[in-house]
């Protein structure tokens, strides 16, 4: 198939995906928090920062229409597992159609992360990636999610959150320690990519290490 033909068949799919995402945003603006899915540049930065290629168990919170899910699957190991937790039933049904035996799509709330991991008999994740909008949820709800992530994350594991607002930093840093922030401008809107690494229990007060992330 020629490149022109391939592009002409991909474009309508991308446009349909964006339109569907936008329609769901109009129904649940606070829960979705963004008008269109993440760009390829943002997704690349997020998957690299989370080091998904090294992880055996990966958790994705808020996969939406699956652009991030597919990129994680493309980059992760053959023997790794990806648990994608989505609260919106219409988005969940899209994720649930992805044909990959390494993926577990789960309809539910990120606040129940610990129970969901246990229900699927999964190990502590080395990478947790979140696109859920902390800025539009209550502090209580956001804190519950952060505490759940910190509790389940494997020692040395990474939590990566991509957000427009700084609220995730104020919620997360008291629990996880020093954040590392990059900016991705090739996205609408430009995003902060924040990363925390859980300590190895070697004396660090809040269980988090300072980390270096390639800019």
Ligand X SMILES: C[S@@+](CC[C@H](N)C(=O)[O-])C[C@H]1O[C@@H](n2cnc3c(N)ncnc32)[C@H](O)[C@@H]1O
Structure tokens at 193: 């990519």
Chain centroid to Cα 158, Å, comes to 11
37 binds ligand X (CB under 6 A): yes
From 17, 20, 22, 31, residue interacting with ligand X (rule: CB under 6 A): 31
Residue 129 CB, shortest distance to ligand X, in Å, is: 8
Q: Which is nearer to ligand X, 32 or 199 (CB)?
A: 32
Contact segment (CB under 6 A) with ligand X among 11-19, 118-126, 128-136, 183-191 equals: 128-136
Structure tokens at 74: 């493309």
Chain centroid to Cα 100, Å, comes to 18
From 125, 131, 142, 199, residue interacting with ligand X (rule: CB under 6 A): 131
Q: Which is nearer to ligand X, 33 or 199 (CB)?
A: 33
144 binds ligand X (CB under 6 A): no
Extract long-range pairs of 111-116: CB within 8 Å, 24+ residues apart.
111/141, 111/144, 111/145, 111/148, 112/148, 113/59, 113/61, 113/85, 113/145, 113/148, 113/149, 113/152, 114/148, 114/151, 114/152, 116/83, 116/85
Of 59-88, binders to ligand X (CB under 6 A) are: 61-64, 67-68, 85-88
Residue numbers of the site for ligand X (CB under 6 A)? 31-34, 37-38, 61-64, 67-68, 85-88, 91, 109-110, 131-133
């Amino acid at each position: 198939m020629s490149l022109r033909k391939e592009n002409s068949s991909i474009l309508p799919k991308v446009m349909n995906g964006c339109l569907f995402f936008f329609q769901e945003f109009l129904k649940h603006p606070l829960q979705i928090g963004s008008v269109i899915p993440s760009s390829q540049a943002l997704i690349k930065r997020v998957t690299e920062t989370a080091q998904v290629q090294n992880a055996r168990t990966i958790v994705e919170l808020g996969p939406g229409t699956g652009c991030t899910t597919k990129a994680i699957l493309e980059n992760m190991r053959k023997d790794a597992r990806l648990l994608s937790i989505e609260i919106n039933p219409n988005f969940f049904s899209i994720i649930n159609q992805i044909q990959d035996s390494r993926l577990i799509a789960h309809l539910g709330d990120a606040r129940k992360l610990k129970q969901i991991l246990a229900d699927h008999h999964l190990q502590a994740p080395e990478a947790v990636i979140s696109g859920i909008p902390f800025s539009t949820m209550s502090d209580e709800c956001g804190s519950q999610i952060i505490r759940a992530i910190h509790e389940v994350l494997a020692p040395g594991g990474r939590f990566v959150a991509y957000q427009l607002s700084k609220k995730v930093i104020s919620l997360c840093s008291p629990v996880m320690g020093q954040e590392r922030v990059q900016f991705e401008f090739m996205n609408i809107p430009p995003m902060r990519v924040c990363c925390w690494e859980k300590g190895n229990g070697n004396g660090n007060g809040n269980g988090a290490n300072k980390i270096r992330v390639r800019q």
